[in-house]
Structure 1
């Protein structure tokens, strides 16, 4: 589903203003609406850190010049989507550009750590959005029960489930999930 470019520009402007408010977490745009997310818990951030370290170690060999980085936005104005994945793999040089968000063709992988507050967003809405954007791989990590899914193109028809403790193949990378903790452990 696409959105009128003028309507998306208006939403984007409002999202930019909201993101300046100190207590607001990530500001996203989906389905013609601004979506506010709460700030993540420590276990969530620990999982992002552990996965980023593993990916960055491997990217030096598999994709020199690419980085696994948290905190950037992913924007597809044609689809009317602005997302802030927990982690993305993209060319480090993309951070030098003046554009506010990364473009889908720049991103090789998105990683989402499922939140306790709104798991449906990661399991349903983001699966749809990232597939529609053409992101090659989507790693979904669920600390609620110590499981996850690797989604891969085309259309994320390839779905490999895993449990914490497994070594997981995500495209050319391998993630050791034994260092991840559930929210309850």
Structure 2
């Protein structure tokens, strides 16, 4: 009798292999690696000044208005959902400080919001891939800031669709308008744009 691994076992093994590859490459190649349903995404460019300054300003503005037990975290670790085979690294994660007291990656359902600043070199990763992945793993709010256009969008209200979970509500904004992320509204003036 032959016992073959199930499709789920193969998928978990493939994901773990990709994860080990990504972790081995993190300090050797520039840019950022993430794992999606389609495989490994490598944003080859390291974040630029406008990207990092946007993340910093968003973090500071959120932390001024949120309760003290919440943080707008811009560091590591990543957000990982092993059953779905997804590992992402949001630019800013709104999360309870208590939920950070773990070893390893954050569970996506502990995030209150994931904030991404669109990469100049790979905008589809933020506008397409993460738009699909974040509701799939249960991140309740996904916010995109796009320094290419000086605009963005807030996605909320995960609902089931034939293609899988998706955000039902999308609120677009332009820089200069206030934006509400979960329960907190912050200004978007003075956010840098790509030249």
TM-score, normalised relative to structure 1: 0.90
In structure 2, the partner of 1:96 is 101
Q: Tell me the SS of whatever aligns to 2:66.
A: helix
Residue 153 of structure 1 aligns to a residue whose secondary structure is strand
| Partner secondary structure for residue 4 of structure 1 | helix
Contact 1:134 1:153 in 2 (8 A): no
Q: How many residues align?
A: 179
- Number of the residue aligned with 1:181: 192
CA positional deviation for 1:131:
1.1
> Over aligned residues, Cα RMSD in angstroms?
1.8
Pick the aligned partner of 2:31 from 25, 29, 52: 25
Per the TM alignment, residue 3 of structure 1 is displaced from its structure 2 partner at its CA by 7.1
Check 1:70–1:116 CA distance in 2 against 1; reply closer, same or farther (3 A cut): same
1:2–1:80 Cα contact (<8 Å) kept: no
- Give the C-alpha shift of residue 106 in structure 1: 0.9
Scaled by the length of structure 2, what TM-score is found?
A: 0.86
Which residue number corresponds to residue 74 of structure 1? Answer: 79
Stretches of structure 1 lacking an aligned partner (at least 5 in a row): none
Aligned pair 1:10/2:2, yes or no?
A: no
Q: Work out whether residues 2 and 79 of structure 1, in 8 Å CA contact, stay in contact via their aligned partners in 2.
A: no
Partners of 1:2 and 1:109 in 2: CA distance: 30
